[in-house]
Amino acid sequence: MSDKNQNQSGDMKSFVIVMAFGLAGMLIIIGFGIFYYTYLNSSAQTKTTDAPTAVTDATGTETAATTVTGPPPLAPLPPVSFPPDNPYSMAKAELGRLLYFDPRFSGDGSISCNSCHPASDGSWSVSSPISFGYPGSTHWRNASTIINSAYYSRVNWDGSATSLEKQANGAWGGAVAGNIDSALAEERLAQIPDYVRLFKEVYGTEYPTWGQALDAVATFERTIVSQNVPFDAYLSGDSHALSDEAKAGYDLFVGRANCIACHNGPLISDDSFHNTAVPEAPEFTNNPLNQITFRYEQWAKGVTEEDYNTAVADFGLYYITKMESDRGSFRTPGLRDVCYTAPYMHNGIFKTLEEVVAFYNAGGGSSPHKDPLLQPLNLTDDEQASLIAFLQSLCGDKLIIQAPELPPYAPSDMSEASGP
Ligand code: HEC
Ligand code: HEC
């Protein structure tokens, strides 16, 4: 064989190899494309048709998903289920309670979970329409209540966190909330001997870790559950637990007003997402501090440059899925204890339940993505009042916890930890 032939067969070999790789690459791309398309389709279907299954997740009962004849009926809440990797213990919940109130878990040591979710007035959600933020900033959403947060499969208005543990990671670490670095938080805990002892009792480790603190605060949150709700007493057979007006409101809620289409099951939420076209919050455009956080969040959530430049309202679920149809969709809030948690909606735009009911009576707001379930209701004033009386019957004992005395910083024996 001449050199030339050898070269040619060499060329041939590399040609075949290149082709083989090229073909394999194309197959992978096509395969991925098919997978992605199927995935998107299935998640789109999940969103519109899956409500009863989502409630099944929240309650742990199987029945609702299999016998779908309408939305799951309203029912008393089942006991909270604790995740297998973070089981309940009383000592852990107690530790979580201290951490919940402890401002040393924020960058400048000034705010705690309790600052934005106050436990002392029974609301567990701060009363400004849009929450304040880490000192020097504002938040950009209304602070959700902690009450019954244990029951959702996803928390935050856009469902961005899939567990309370993950949510707490963002709440303590996030730039417009706690704004503390996890390593700094661990150093602080190590200088509080009572915490070192309590963490050791709960977790058996020498020094507290960030992850353990997340587990403890999430365990505490799972103990904050509605108590003695009049409507639950009514469901269990006490017909006097509801006024006649509230009973008429209940009939409307499950009947002509069709609130039950989305607010259903024990949590009185389908644990899913809808666009009700709530009006925009003027703060986003009028207040520079809000504008800063609003733009920052667009960037942090990875929207397109065009959206970044033009956004005037919160895109909700779209930030998570990046699907057009999810623009402006928010998680349906549960309605237990709703009388204590004003103002309402993701941007706190409504101050009273009267305003919320008037909004629904008009068929919600206006947006091309608005859920077709929302239609003008033509309720009379009396009917609207009944609906409100029913919402009030969903409110139980106020869950009030006063701030505990927090363990102080004190010199600790770090001698074993000191270097050579
Ligand atoms: C600076 C105010 C602020 C602080 C501090 C703060 N939060 Fe929040 N929290 C909010 C706001 C605002 C929201 C709504 C956020 C969203 O939807 O994106 C929220 C949402 C939540 C939710 C979601 C509830 C639901 O049903 O979706 C939970 C749970 C929660 N916070 C727990 C905590 C815990 C625990 C801490 C302390 C570790 C904490 N928060 C600290 C303002 C705050
Ligand atoms: C299409 C689904 C849907 C229907 C139907 C619906 N809601 Fe809602 N509801 C939602 C969603 C989603 C939100 C949150 C919207 C937001 O923040 O943008 C909400 C919010 C609320 C809130 C505010 C709760 C809070 O904590 O901020 C109340 C109160 C409420 N709805 C009551 C009702 C009543 C009463 C009806 C019937 C007249 C009704 N809803 C019908 C989906 C629905």
Residue 189 lies in a domain: yes
Q: What is the pLDDT of residue 129?
A: 96
Q: What is the pLDDT of residue 233?
A: 98
Let me know: does 168 contact 217? Beta carbons within 8 Å: yes
Looking at 13-22, 48-57, 140-149, 229-238, which range is the least confident one?
Answer: 48-57
Q: Which residue's CA is minimally distant from atom 9 of ligand 2?
A: 332
Q: What is the pLDDT of residue 250?
A: 98
Residue 265 lies in a domain: yes
Q: Which of 231, 262, 315 to mutate to test the pocket of ligand 2 (most atoms within 8 A of CB)?
A: 262
Give the whole-number percent of the chain exceeding pLDDT 70. 82
Q: Is the pLDDT of residue 216 over 90?
A: yes
Q: Which residue's CA is minimally distant from atom 34 of ligand 2?
A: 259
Span 399-415, mean pLDDT?
A: 88
371/376 Cα distance (integer angstroms): 12
Based on the fold, state whether residues 309 and 183 are members of the same structural domain.
no
Q: The pTM is what? A: 0.86
Q: Which residue's CA is minimally distant from atom 16 of ligand 1?
A: 156
Q: Which atom of ligand 2 is nearest to the CA of 261?
A: 5
Based on the fold, state whether residues 204 and 243 are members of the same structural domain.
no
Q: What is the pLDDT of residue 69?
A: 76
Q: In the structure, what pLDDT confidence band is assigned to residue 93 with cuts at 50, 70 and 90?
A: very high
Which-ligand-closest: CA of 357?
2
Looking at 6-20, 83-97, 344-358, which range is the least confident one?
Answer: 6-20
Pocket flag, ligand 1, residue 129 (CB < 6 Å): no
3-state secondary structure the chain: CCHHHHHHHHHHHHHHHHHHHHHHHHHHHHHHHHHHHHHHHHHHHHHHHCHHHHHHHHHCCCHHHHCCCCCCCCCCCCCCCCCCCCCCCHHHHHHHHHHHHCHHHCCCCCCCHHHHCCCCCCCCCCCCCCCECCCCCECCCCCCCCCCHHHCCCECCCCCECCHHHHHHHHHHCCCCCCCCHHHHHHHHHCCHHHHHHHHHHHCCCCCCHHHHHHHHHHHHCCCCCCCCHHHHHHCCCHHHCCHHHHHHHHHHHCCCCHHHCCCCCCCCCCCEECCCCCCCCHHHHCHHHHHHHHHHHHHCCCCHHHHHHCCCCCECHHHHCCHHHCCEEECCCCCCHHHCCCECCCCCECCHHHHHHHHHCCCCCCCCCCCCCCCCCCCHHHHHHHHHHHHCCCCCCCCCCCCCCCCCCCCCCHHHCCC
Q: Which of 112, 114, 116 to mutate to test the pocket of ligand 1 (most atoms within 8 A of CB)?
A: 116
Q: Is the pLDDT of residue 290 over 60?
A: yes
287 against 9, higher pLDDT: 287
Q: What is the mean pLDDT of the chain?
A: 87
Residue 65 lies in a domain: no
Q: Is the pLDDT of residue 3 over 70?
A: no
Based on the fold, state whether residues 373 and 247 are members of the same structural domain.
yes
Q: Which atom of ligand 1 is nearest to the CA of 217?
A: 35
Q: What is the pLDDT of residue 11?
A: 52
Based on the fold, state whether residues 255 and 374 are members of the same structural domain.
yes
Q: Which residue's CA is minimally distant from atom 36 of ligand 2?
A: 259
Residue 194 lies in a domain: yes
Q: Which atom of ligand 2 is nearest to the CA of 373?
A: 1
Assign residue 305 the CATH number of its domain: 1.10.760.10
CB atoms within 10 A of CB 114: 19
How far, in Å, is the centroid of ligand 1 from the Cα of 164? 10
Which of residues 209, 225, 241 is at a domain's end? 225
Looking at 67-76, 123-132, 365-374, which range is the least confident one?
Answer: 67-76
Q: In the structure, what pLDDT confidence band is assigned to residue 67 with cuts at 50, 70 and 90?
A: low
374/258 Cα distance (integer angstroms): 9
The count of domains in the chain is 2
Residue 37 lies in a domain: no
Cis peptide before 376 (omega within 30 of 0): no
Q: What is the pLDDT of residues 224-273, one digit of tens each?
A: 999 999 999 999 999 999 999 999 999 999 999 999 999 999 999 999 99
Q: In the structure, what pLDDT confidence band is assigned to residue 10 with cuts at 50, 70 and 90?
A: very low
183 against 416, higher pLDDT: 183
Based on the fold, state whether residues 95 and 184 are members of the same structural domain.
yes
Q: Is the pLDDT of residue 410 over 70?
A: yes
Q: What is the pLDDT of residues 153-175, one digit of tens each?
A: 999 999 999 999 999 999 999 99
Pocket flag, ligand 1, residue 172 (CB < 6 Å): yes
Of 364, 355, 300, nearest to 328 (Cα)? 364
Q: In the structure, what pLDDT confidence band is assigned to residue 15 with cuts at 50, 70 and 90?
A: very low
Domain that residue 200 falls in? 90-225
Span 342-346, mean pLDDT?
A: 98
Which of residues 225, 242, 268 is at a domain's end? 225
Q: What is the pLDDT of residues 291-318, one digit of tens each?
A: 999 999 999 999 999 999 999 999 999 9
Of 306, 339, 312, nearest to 328 (Cα)? 312
Q: What is the pLDDT of residue 285?
A: 84
Based on the fold, state whether residues 300 and 263 are members of the same structural domain.
yes
Q: What is the pLDDT of residue 14?
A: 52
182/79 Cα distance (integer angstroms): 32
Q: Is the pLDDT of residue 183 over 90?
A: yes
Based on the fold, state whether residues 264 and 355 are members of the same structural domain.
yes
Which of residues 225, 258, 284 is at a domain's end? 225
Span 283-289, mean pLDDT?
A: 89
Q: Is the pLDDT of residue 38 over 90?
A: no
417/196 Cα distance (integer angstroms): 14
Q: Is the pLDDT of residue 320 over 90?
A: yes
**Block residue for tokens 């077709």:** 372
Among left, alpha and beta (phi > 0; psi -120 to 50; other), residue 284 is alpha
Which-ligand-closest: CA of 390?
2
Neighbouring residues of 167: CB distance < 8 A, sequence distance ≥ 6 = 155, 156, 161, 218
Pocket flag, ligand 1, residue 58 (CB < 6 Å): no
Q: What is the pLDDT of residue 32?
A: 46
Q: What is the dihedral of CA 102, 103, 105, 109, to 10 degrees?
A: -150
Span 50-56, mean pLDDT?
A: 37
Ligand 2 pocket by Cβ (under 6 Å): 257-259, 261-263, 274, 276, 278, 330, 332-333, 335, 338, 341, 344-346, 353, 356-357, 360, 371, 373-374, 387
Neighbouring residues of 346: CB distance < 8 A, sequence distance ≥ 6 = 141, 142, 157, 278, 314, 316, 330
Based on the fold, state whether residues 191 and 216 are members of the same structural domain.
yes
Span 133-144, mean pLDDT?
A: 97
Based on the fold, state whether residues 212 and 267 are members of the same structural domain.
no
